[in-house]
Amino acid sequence: MTRTWQITTVSDAARARIAVARLAAEYGVPTVDRARLAAALSGRLRQCLTKGGTWLLTLEVPRSRGADGRLYAVVTPSPGSGADGETPWEVTVVCPEPGRSPDGDPVTEDPADLSEGLLGADEDTAVVLDKLAEQEELVAFHREELHQTNQGVLALHAELDAAGRAQREAFAAERRARNEAENARRRLTFLADASAVLNASLNHDEIVRRLAELLVPRYAFSVDVWLFDNDGEAHLDAQRRASRPAAAVRAARTGRPQYAADRPGGLPGVDDQPPSALDPARPLLCIPLLTRRAPLGVLTLSPPGDRWDPDDAVMLIELARRAGIAIDNARRFEHNRDIAETLQRALLTDLPAIGGLSLAARYLPATHGLNIGGDWYDAFRQPDGGLITVVGDVTGHGLHAAVMMSQLRTALRAYAVDGGSPGLLLTRLHNFLHHLQPDLYATAVIARFHPDEPTLTWAAAGHPPPVLRLPDGRVRILDAKPGAMLGIPLKQRIADHTERLAPGATLALYTDGLVERRAQGIDPGIGRLAAALGSFGSAELDTDLAGSADGILKPLLSDSERDDDVCLLLCHFRGKR
């Protein structure tokens, strides 16, 4: 169904607007949609009146329930009205009750009718305003909820940010702690390894060389070790007498580490000093090498970079302390070794010459340790013309063993003046050592020759057995029961043993350092000695006994490293001629 209104005046527009509103109400158009339709139509009609001319308002409404439930309104210019060419205006509104067929009474010119239509429009507007107020309240409510939600979200974001910062700080602290632990482990490992290297040598020059190798280039660009002499005074060669930094001199005088640079180093336990005049551009760390007795020297270092890490400086100070102890131990070892060597060499006997008997001796110190032990050999005449030959070994090494060896040697010579067989002399030495040094022990073997008798008398106390080469080349090991070690808490009388000698016989007396090896024991070594002695002919032994002694040592000491001293005494019996 179609309704049409001709609009020329304001009254026409008002009646048309009122009629459209009534039809929309009769078709069940909701109040809000109805008010929206009326407002839009009023605005369009106002524009049409402003432009002038005649306009047609056409409204199509559904006829039945089965028709499309929509109201369709269109405003177009009337033909020949002077508004031709204007674009039509149209609007569509959904009808919830399309099945109704309202009469649609026309709107009259009666003011009451117009007023009722206008008031009805105002009622629709009021309803719309009420709806709008409700929506505004709802919007305000949701705005407040949204604001509260935003505040919560902001607070949550703040908490998340704080948690993130705390986590990042925890991760950073963990990384720092891990790095510090790794650096500490690295320093401790270096300190332990360096200490092992420094203490592996007993030569102070080698320790100084190794110290420089350990520090350069990881912890120092250059290293200088200034050592004092044994009296604590600085020992300087002529070329370097005036080349010591002032900080090194101050470290030597005060015993405190010194740091010389153009700005303070802030190193713990280190005194800051002005830069060195010898090299102002390079910082210097001067650390005294302290020992239990007196300052030993000064270690002067220049950094591998601009400066040292404080923890590295603490580690370097500790390394210098350990290096000082190692150098001091090496010096004391060298001092004691020199004394012991001098004493031992002074006690080694010049072998006497006797008719019918040739003697040759060899002594080799150990290559490990102090190099000085208690091994000794001796040969001397007795008042009756007999010749005493002896080889002995005092337990231990070092100066104490050398001193005790000298005392036993002197005591043996004193006892031999009164005569006595080898067994009696060893018995008296046993008593002497037991009362003189109850905690010190020794072994010895004594052989006695007499130029008028082709007889060998010998006795042993805890010592490896003598080896006798017969003139025909056969070799015997004189393993008759020996006495116990000298000095043990046991009363003993050591027995003598006798062997007939023929011209060309050779007796070998020796210490265990010649034949004993840790992995093999002593018996295989004695067998090798017997084989080496038997490999020489009588003529060779008769003409060159010293060369034969060297020939025996060579196969038995093929390795250059020895843990014990070696002593060998060869006695070659030529007989009367």
Give domain status of residue 125, yes or no: no
Q: 109: which DSSP letter? A: S
Question: Based on the domain organization, do 486 and 516 belong to the same domain?
Answer: yes
Report d(CA 84, CA 387) in Å as an integer. 164
Question: Based on the domain organization, do 11 and 31 belong to the same domain?
Answer: yes
Report d(CA 457, CA 447) in Å as an integer. 6
Q: Residues of 559-570 as b/e, b for ≥16 C-beta within 10 angstroms?
A: eeebebbbbbbb
> Which of 381, 481, 374 lies closest to 437 in space, CA to CA?
374
Give domain status of residue 193, yes or no: no
When divided into structural domains, the chain yields a total of 3
Question: CA distances (Å), 182 to each of 20, 80, 189, 219, in order?
Answer: 90, 101, 10, 17
Q: What is the full per-residue pLDDT of the chain (577 aa) written as tens digits?
A: 788 888 888 888 888 888 888 888 888 888 888 888 888 888 888 888 888 888 888 988 776 544 567 888 998 888 766 666 678 899 888 887 655 555 555 666 666 666 666 666 677 777 777 888 888 888 888 888 888 899 989 999 999 999 999 999 999 999 989 998 998 899 999 999 999 999 988 888 999 999 999 999 989 999 999 998 765 444 434 334 457 899 999 999 999 999 999 889 889 999 999 998 888 889 999 999 988 777 899 999 999 888 888 999 999 999 999 999 999 988 888 887 777 667 666 666 788 888 889 999 998 877 555 556 678 899 999 998 899 999 999 887 666 777 888 888 999 999 999 889 999 999 999 999 888 877 789 999 999 998 888 899 999 999 999 999 999 999 999 999 899 999 998 899 999 999 999 999 999 999 998 998 877 788 999 999 999 999 998 889 989 999 999 999 988 886 655 567 889 999 999 876 5
**Domain limit, last residue, from 283, 308, 341:** 341
Question: Based on the domain organization, do 271 and 241 belong to the same domain?
Answer: yes
Question: Based on the domain organization, do 383 and 279 belong to the same domain?
Answer: no
**Domain limit, last residue, from 341, 370, 393:** 341
Structure tokens at 553: 């040592």
Question: Based on the domain organization, do 326 and 365 belong to the same domain?
Answer: no
Confidence at residue 81, expressed as pLDDT on a 0 to 100 scale: 64
CATH number at residue 244: 3.30.450.40
Domain that holds residue 74: 2-107
Give domain status of residue 192, yes or no: no
Question: Based on the domain organization, do 451 and 567 belong to the same domain?
Answer: yes
CATH number at residue 20: 3.30.565
Give domain status of residue 175, yes or no: no
Please give the radius of gyration of the chain, using alpha carbons only, rounded to the nearest integer: 61
**Domain limit, last residue, from 298, 325, 341:** 341
CATH number at residue 465: 3.60.40.10
Give domain status of residue 539, yes or no: yes
SS3 of 246, please? helix
Give domain status of residue 183, yes or no: no
C-alpha angle 551-554-557 in degrees, rounded to nearest 5 = 145
- Upstream peptide bond of 217 is cis (omega within 30 degrees of 0): yes
Q: Tell me the residue ranges of DSSP E strands in 441-504.
A: 442-450, 453-461, 467-469, 475-477, 497-500
Confidence at residue 305, expressed as pLDDT on a 0 to 100 scale: 85
Give domain status of residue 266, yes or no: yes
Report d(CA 51, CA 48) in Å as an integer. 5
